[in-house]
Structure 1
Amino acid sequence: MRIIHILNHIQEIGNGIVNVAVDLACLQAKSGDDVAVISAGGEYEKLLHQFGVKHYAIDQSRQPIKMMKAAIAYREIVREFQPDIVHAHMMTGVVLASALRWGNRYNLVATVHNEFQRSSILMGLADRVIAVSKAVKNSMVKRGIPKRKLRVVRNGTLDSPRTRQISDYQPLNLQHPAIATVAGMYQRKGIAELIAAFEEVAKNFPAAHLYLVGNGPDKEIFESQAQATSVSNQIHFEGFQSEPQGYLLACDIFVLASHRDPCPLVLSEAREAGAAIVATEVDGIPEALDHGKAGMLVPAQDSQKLAEALTKLLTNADTLQEWKQRSQDNLEWLNVARVHQETLAVYEELWLADRILNGRGNGRGNPAPT
């Protein structure tokens, strides 16, 4: 099969959308498909090259001249590569691939990663729309995307080609009890509530420390908030870490306090590391935690409930150890191999439908896969 993934960039900055697309491209190429990625480029170009994935550089910035140049370049790439599937992961890509499909017989697939963005409805331009959790699927149905187009492929990141085996990492030397998060520094990630909850927890556990791993546009806001607390010297802003596993292995509790989160990859990594997990009960987070079996769920935007959950874990060593063990149960479904196979099934479904409709494989005389 000939597959093109299209997204804005492939920078190594902790972007879950990029990480999912890169994982898929590498595994598809490894399994024998001809795979290309269209983006403005980034650090993952080297990894894609190692797996035999061709990269085409196109700047899809939303400026008229750049979009015109991107459209011309895209048509040339499609003419050269002759894809069976174009898989769009961001809004600009699905619009480009849909608008310029005339005369090209590829099937268009789009993955909805952040359904809370208003522009995500444009993913419905595709023939099939992959939702990264059941919660995302239900939301997109409510927003008008037909059920017949939607398929659920939950995120999973274990054994990713981007990372080493968990056994190859060493836990960092953190101060304990250690509470950590790995998240973009955005308001929607609940960093403000986590800082407020930690200040409350530290009253009973004065030796506790909070490690905030990640970067983002709201970081200065959170730094100011932390500085204004009575425990500012116990709150550590660690910045973006390309390999946060050292924090996940070392922390006593991992927290994800998001207001919205479709199916965060970091939860599979925290589970593999064996951290006790506290996370908010929103969007795809409960699914990523086996509906509360693998992590404690608390209401979003409620620092008091979050503080209570953290206090419960830190108060009882047996309870903390129990949740560490529970996080590692049922990890198999979080493997990238499952994501790869389920995505392939979506592609093959389209290919077979095209064969039936046109009576000629993928529309260019090639047989459909068996």
Structure 2
Amino acid sequence: MRIIHILNHVQKIGNGIVNVAVDLACLQAKTGNEVAVVSVGGEYEALLAVCGVKHYHLDQQRNPINIIKAAVRYQAIAAEFQPDIVHAHMMTGIVLARFLRYGHKYALVSTVHNEFQRTSLLMGLADRVIAVSKAVQASMARRGIPENKLRVVCNGTLGSPRTRNLHDYQPLPLQHPAIATVAGMYKRKGIAELIAAFEQIALNFPQAHLYLVGNGPDRELFEAQALATSVGERIHFEGFQPEPQRYLKSCDIFVLASHRDPCPLVLSEAREAGAAIIGTQVDGIPEALDYGQAGLLVPTKDSKALAKALVQLLSNADTLYEWKNRANQNLEWLNASRVHQETLGVYCELITQ
């Protein structure tokens, strides 16, 4: 099978969409398919080359002159590579692949990652639309994507070609009990609620520290919020980390307080690392936590409920141990190879038709 993945870039910046696409491309190439990635490029080009994936440079910046150039370039790439499948992961890619398909025989697949974006409806231009969780599938169906187009392939990243074996990562000397999150510094990731919850419990747990791993446009806002608390010296902004596994292995409690999150990859990594997990009850987070079997679930935008869950874990060593153990169970379905196989199944469905 000849497969093209089209996305904006392949930069190593913690972007979950890029990570999923790179995983798929590498695993597909390793299992004998001819695979190409089309993007403006980035650090993952080296890994793609090692895995036998061809990379074509395509700048998809949305200005009129560049879009015309991108259209001409895309046509040339498709004519040269002759794909059976084009798999679009981002909005510009799906538009190019759909409206420039004339004269080519490929089937078109899209993956909906951030379905809360209004423009995600464009992903419905594909012949098959992969939703990264059942919650995303239901949302897209409500918004008008035909159900016969939709397929669910839940995210999973364990065993990814991008990462090493978990045992190869050295844990960090964090101060314990250590509470951590790994997330972009965006309001929708619930960082403000996490800081507020930590402030509520910090005086009762004077040894606890909070580690915020990630970067983003709202970081200064959160830094100001932390500085305004009475426990700012125990709130650590760690920035983007290329090896977040070192934090996941070291922390006692991992928190993902998102307001919206289709199916976050970091939860599978936190589970593998054996952290006790607290997540919000929204979108694909419950699915990633086996509907509350592998982590505590709290309402979104509710710092009091989050603080209560933190107290539950920090107050009792046996409870903390139990939730660490529960997080570490039933990990097989979170493997990247399962995502790869199910995605190939969607491709085969189209090719046999």
Work out the CA distance in 2 between the residues paired with 1:317 and 1:331. 23
- Residue 65 of structure 2: aligned partner: 65
- Report how many aligned residue pairs link the two structures: 353
Matched, 1:260 2:260: yes
Work out the CA distance in 2 between the residues paired with 1:334 and 1:61. 33
**Deviation at residue 95 of structure 1 after TM alignment:** 0.4
Which blocks of at least 5 consecutive residues in structure 1 are unaligned? 354-370
The 3-state SS of whatever aligns with 2:148 is: helix
- Residue 303 of structure 1: aligned partner: 303
Work out the CA distance in 2 between the residues paired with 1:210 and 1:245. 16
1:7-63, CA deviations, whole angstroms, 9 ceiling, x for partnerless residues? Answer: 000000000000000000000000000000000100000000000100001110110
- Residue 318 of structure 1: aligned partner: 318
**Deviation at residue 334 of structure 1 after TM alignment:** 0.3
Aligned residues with identical type, % of pairs: 75
1:310-356, CA deviations, whole angstroms, 9 ceiling, x for partnerless residues? Answer: 00100000000000000011000000000000000000000011xxx
Correspondence list, 1:61-210, <5 A = 61-210=61-210
**Deviation at residue 207 of structure 1 after TM alignment:** 1.3
Q: Give the TM-score of the pair, scaled to structure 2.
A: 1.00
| One-letter amino acid matched to 1:227 | L
| One-letter amino acid matched to 1:40 | V
The 3-state SS of whatever aligns with 1:160 is: coil
Work out the CA distance in 1 between the residues paired with 2:39 and 2:51. 17
| One-letter amino acid matched to 1:126 | A
Work out the CA distance in 2 between the residues paired with 1:178 and 1:58. 43
Work out the CA distance in 1 between the residues paired with 2:22 and 2:2. 16
The 3-state SS of whatever aligns with 1:119 is: helix
| One-letter amino acid matched to 2:133 | S
**Deviation at residue 128 of structure 1 after TM alignment:** 0.1
- Residue 365 of structure 1: aligned partner: none
Work out the CA distance in 2 between the residues paired with 1:203 and 1:144. 49
**Deviation at residue 203 of structure 1 after TM alignment:** 1.7
Work out the CA distance in 1 between the residues paired with 2:337 and 2:248. 22
The 3-state SS of whatever aligns with 2:301 is: coil
Q: Give the TM-score of the pair, scaled to structure 1.
A: 0.95
**Deviation at residue 292 of structure 1 after TM alignment:** 0.3
- Residue 364 of structure 1: aligned partner: none
The 3-state SS of whatever aligns with 1:242 is: coil
Work out the CA distance in 2 between the residues paired with 1:161 and 1:66. 33
1:252-299, CA deviations, whole angstroms, 9 ceiling, x for partnerless residues? Answer: 100000000000000000000000000000000000000000000000
The 3-state SS of whatever aligns with 1:200 is: helix
Which blocks of at least 5 consecutive residues in structure 2 are unaligned? none
- Residue 23 of structure 2: aligned partner: 23
The 3-state SS of whatever aligns with 1:194 is: helix
- Residue 41 of structure 1: aligned partner: 41
**Deviation at residue 64 of structure 1 after TM alignment:** 0.5
The 3-state SS of whatever aligns with 2:203 is: helix
- Residue 235 of structure 2: aligned partner: 235
Query: Which runs of structure 1 show a deviation greater than 2 angstroms over 4 or more consecutive aligned residues?
Result: none
| One-letter amino acid matched to 1:223 | E
**Deviation at residue 307 of structure 1 after TM alignment:** 0.2
The 3-state SS of whatever aligns with 1:148 is: coil
Work out the CA distance in 2 between the residues paired with 1:338 and 1:345. 11
1:70-106, CA deviations, whole angstroms, 9 ceiling, x for partnerless residues? Answer: 0000000000000000000001100000010011010
